[in-house]
Amino acid sequence: MIARTQKNDRELPIFTLDKVIRNGRYYLFRYYFGVTIAPFHQAVLGVQLEWLKIFCDVVRWANVSRAALENGISQSSASQAIQQIEERLGVKLLDRSKRPIVATAAGRVYYEGCKELVGRYQEVENRVKALEDEQKVVGTVRVAAIYSVGLAGMNLHTERFEHEYPGATVKVEYLHPTRVVESILDDNCELGLISYPRKWPELNVIPWRDEEMVLAVSPTHPLASRGVIDVTELEGERFVAFDPELSIRRAIDRFFRQQSVHVKISIVFDNIENIKRAVEAHSGVSILPEPTMTREVEVGSLVVLRFRDHRLVRPIAIIHKRVHTLSLTASRFLNLLMRPECRSAVAAGAFSSMAP
């Protein structure tokens, strides 16, 4: 049976659990997944593993079109695959009356079971293929990152990884800091890049790099020609600040308290891009990670000043789930990120700076 609704759709591989049994691969399945086929035969026997992946992607993204794109098929093919599963189970797995689409109670149970099954099978395939060829790392690693880690920098790392491992791909999703953590905990991504990490019982936190925080001023500001200043010189200055809920704001407030400096908050934003625009518009000065201002310094719209005798840094860390062994693809990408040249903020190149 082939899932195909349009002439140009690619054919989905015919790899079903009943075919596993017929081909004598039952024991391989039982060994790697720790399950017997029998308890699942009424639910998934004859269901293509790729259909299960499509279903998991629909639930993960709450969007059929996005899941279809992830799997290289049309939206109608993705919908057909899910309908086939529902017909076999005799239950509705998705509530299509809601936007975005949500899984039904039965769908959530099915999703929790299938995502591990599909993920473990793909990982077994990847590791077996890599045994004969160390460079033959295949599959996709999903990464959740705060915006200001840098689009340009991450693109360089991604391109380098995909050049070294042509069969592998990296998909980076840029999110608000809280969403980065949620994405890892919900198994939507394997790796996360976040600033000001704390200890989470469910996550491993790996220090990645420290970015120096510097004063950003407009070129016409009286301090612009100084290069280096004392923190106390900011007393009474108009200051463009981060939202109080953000870790970077709390770190800057703590820095000012330690130096007994009081600034006048003129305006508040939740992202670096808006703060830079406000500083350029003479709404005040601000303290920002230096790598996020590469472009503005080059064109002369902002001037960077360092603090004399004080160094403030923004720590960036990589996070992943404790209880899950990283896939081979994710493990290799993590190894690349931990290389000295990738951990350096300078070597990472120009950075995007949409959010903290």
Secondary structure (DSSP) of 179-215? HHHHHHHTTS-SEEEEES----TTEEEEEEEEEEEEE
**95-128 pLDDT tens trace:** 988 888 888 988 888 888 887 777 777 666 666 6
Q: Which domains does the chain have, with CATH numbers?
A: 17-128 (1.10.10.10), 137-208+315-343 (3.40.190.10), 211-313 (3.40.190.290)
Structure tokens at 49: 């593993």
Q: Residue 171 belongs to what H/E stretch?
A: strand 168-175
What phi and psi, each to the nearest 5 degrees, are found at residue 281?
-90, 10
In the predicted model, what is the mean pLDDT of residues 246-275?
A: 94
R_g of the chain computed on alpha carbons:
25
Average pLDDT over residues 296-304: 95
Q: Which long-range contacts (CB under 8 A, 24 or more apart) does 256-260 make?
A: 256/231, 259/231, 259/232, 259/310, 260/232
188 close to 194: Cβ distance less than 8 angstroms: no
Place of tokens 């990408």: 333
Residue 73: closest CA among 3, 126, 23: 3
pLDDT recorded at residue 17: 43
How does pLDDT run across 144-194, given as a tens digit for each residue? 999 877 666 788 899 999 999 988 999 999 988 889 999 999 888 999 999
Average pLDDT over residues 119-146: 73
Q: Is the pLDDT of residue 331 over 60?
A: yes
pTM: 0.64
Model confidence over 247-258: pLDDT tens digits?
A: 999 999 999 999
* Cα gap 254→340, rounded to integer Å: 30
Phi, psi of 337 (to 5 degrees): -60, -30
Rounded Cα distance between 275 and 349, Å, is 21
DSSP string, 34-74: S--SGGGHHHHTT-BHHHHHHHHHHHHHT-HHHHHHHHTS-
Task: For residue 254, count other CB atoms closer than 10 A to its CB.
Answer: 11
pLDDT confidence bin for 85, thresholds 50/70/90: confident
